[in-house]
Amino acid sequence: MSREEQPLIIEERGRVLILTLNRPRAKNAMSLQLSEELAEAFEILDSRPDLSLGVITGAGGTFCAGMDLKGFARGEIPIVPDRGFAGLVQRPPRKPLIAAVEGYALGGGFEIALACDLIVAADNAIFGLPEVKRGLTANAGGLLRLQHRLPYHYAMELVLTGRMLPAVEAGELHLVNRVTAPGAALDTALELAEEIARNAPLALATSKRIMVESVDWPVGEKFARQHEFVDPIRKSNDAAEGARAFVEKRVPVWTGS
C-alpha cells in the first residue's frame, strides 16, 4: 500500500509520535479501519518508553469531518471496543496528545480534538457539534467534555444551536492553546510537542493522569491519592537523572524508567 493509500500515516520526530489522518478526499472522515489503526497507534505510544507524547492532525487541509457516513450506510461504526470512536474518545492514551487542526473539526472531529490534552489550530479552522441540526446528539464525548472546557452557558449554546465555532473565537475562549496562520498548525504543534518532550516522560504521563482523574476525587482524599501516583515518580531513575543533570549543568537523558 502506497503512502497515499494509507488511512493513517505514522511518523516519529524524536520523542514525538505524529499521527496523520489520511483520507483527504473524504475530509478525513472517520472509518472503522482508521479507528482501529489509531487505537493500535495509541497502544504503541503508551508502550514505548522512547516516546513522550503524540500529535494528531489531518491531511489535505482538514482535520476531521466526523464519522464516515458512507461507511455507516454499509453498517460500519468507527468504534473500537474499550476505546470508543476513533479508538480514542473513551480511553485516550496515558501520554499527552496534541491536536493540530486545519480546516473543519466537526462532530466527531471536534470530539477527537476535545479528547486531546492540547489543541493548536490554524486561524481558518472551524469547530462545531452540529448533530442537533440532523436530529442527533454528539455521542463521542462532546457533551461530556465541552462543558468542562468552556463556561457552562457558552458550551450549552454551542451544543443546542449546533453553530460553528471559528478558531479565533476558540482561542479567545482558551479552548485552543495556539492559533496560527493557515498551514502552520502542525509545525506549531510540533514546536509545542518538542518543548514538552524535553521533560521526563514518566512525569508527563503521571501529571496528565492526576489532572484528569483528580476531578472526581473526594476533597479529603486528594493528596493521599496523588501520593500513590507521585511517589513512584520520585523514586524513578528519571528523577535521579534530573537531579544529576541539574547539578552537572547538562541536558538530562531520560529513559522512561
Which amino acids are annotated catalytic? Answer: 111, 131
Report whether 6 contacts 34 (CB < 8 A). no
3-state secondary structure of 51: coil
Q: What is the Cα–Cα distance from 158 to 156, expressed in whole angstroms?
A: 5
CB of 182 closer than 8 Å to CB of 188:
no
Q: What does DSSP assign to residue 64?
A: B
In angstroms, rounded to a whole number, what is the distance separating the alpha carbons of residues 185 and 36? 25
Q: Name residues whose C-beta falls within 8 Å of residue 64's C-beta, 6 or more positions apart in sequence.
A: 21, 27, 28, 29, 30, 58, 86, 104, 105, 106, 108, 109, 112
**In whole angstroms, what is the distance from residue 22 CA to residue 58 CA?**
6
72-76 long-range CB contacts below 8 Å, 24 or more apart?
A: 76/31, 76/32
